[in-house]
Amino acid sequence: MRYKESFLSYLQYEKRYSKHTLVSYDCDLSQFFSFLSSYGIEESEIVDLNFKDVRKWIVFLMNDGCSARTVNRKLSSLKSFFKYLLRESLIQHNPMDKVVGPRQGKKLPNFIAEDSMRLLQEVDFGEGFEGIRDRLVIEMFYHTGMRLSELMNLKVSGFDRSASVVRVLGKRNRERIIPVSNNLETLLDEYLEQRLMLCSNEDGFLILTNQAKPAYEKLLYRIVTKHLSKITTLSKKSPHVLRHTFATHLLNNGAELNAIKELLGHSNLSATQIYTHTSFERLNDIYKQAHPRA
């Protein structure tokens, strides 16, 4: 598809979007073009589209069982696509101008209670390299709040021992600095000793498999799911739950929202404000349990 491929090339080579993001855009646009095709509208006719055509797609997606969140994400892809076409003078008007996505409720992030996280100290992670690696993975997610992709791509050199910080390369290649606690530094030292016995490369990727290869996404998910199952009954157990836990615990213990924003690598404060809702929900529950007239 000429328009779609031109747009994806722009995202890849000029905007430097990640492979995962490109796949998401490709999927959304392919679904949209497939929908148009079912109505006899070809790509060459995209210049004649209007907001009513897009609204038909919204109705189709909602009737197909898509959540409001999913529909709005797909509409975001379309907005970027048509904005690009308009800037390149490939279309004369933007069919998204009058399009409003479905309203969605604010979903609060899942997180693990502080008491449950303290139980990690009693968890048996096993002996040798695998045991200490698994513990480090859990503690890294909880102590730093980094994303799965960030830990997966973290190098040993990302740690600055003299400053007790870790330098993380986040979205859009933005680097951020996260403090490292004494306990995490001690655990890291123990892990690096085991790692050196497995792999002679003193730098390279921090987290390795038992075969001294870089850790992969499914391995990190498996480690987190396995060990969180020992301390929580949450249905969802993932690296991102530990990221939510990191942020929520900081806020509950007095950290400023702007500081949490910087630690998480959010580009704007609105993304971080979801944790204030989580904190309010917690206070509301305490009030209902404790106040005699609640």
202's tokens: 């003193």
12: which 2 tokens? 């890849």
State the pLDDT confidence band at 238, using cuts at 50, 70 and 90. Answer: very high
CB atoms within 10 A of CB 72: 16
Structure confidence at residue 149 (pLDDT):
95
SS3 164: coil
CA separation, residue 196 to residues 55, 101, 212, 248, 288 (Å)? 58, 52, 10, 35, 53
pLDDT tens-digit series, residues 164-195:
999 999 888 889 999 999 999 999 999 999 99
Contacts 24+ apart (CB under 8 A), 22-25: 24/77, 25/77, 25/80, 25/81
pLDDT digits (tens, 9 = 90+) for 104-122: 666 678 899 999 999 999 9
- In CATH, the number for domain 2-87 is 1.10.150
Q: Give start and end residues of each alpha helix (H) in 89-174.
A: 114-118, 128-144, 148-152
Domains 2-87 and 114-290 share a fold: no
Taking the whole predicted model, whether its pTM rises above 0.75 is answered as no
**pLDDT at site 270:** 80
- Cβ–Cβ under 8 Å, residues 120 and 221: no
pLDDT single digits (tens) 42-83: 776 788 888 888 888 988 898 888 888 899 999 999 999 999
Superfamily of domain 114-290: Intergrase catalytic core (1.10.443.10)
Neighbours of 241 (CB within 10 A): 21
14-44 pLDDT, tens digit per residue, is: 989 998 999 999 999 999 999 988 888 877 6
Which active-site residues does the annotation give?
147, 171, 240, 243, 266, 275
Q: What residue spans define the domains of the chain? A: 2-87, 114-290
Tokens, residue 57: 């797609």
User: Percent of the chain at pLDDT above 90?
Assistant: 56
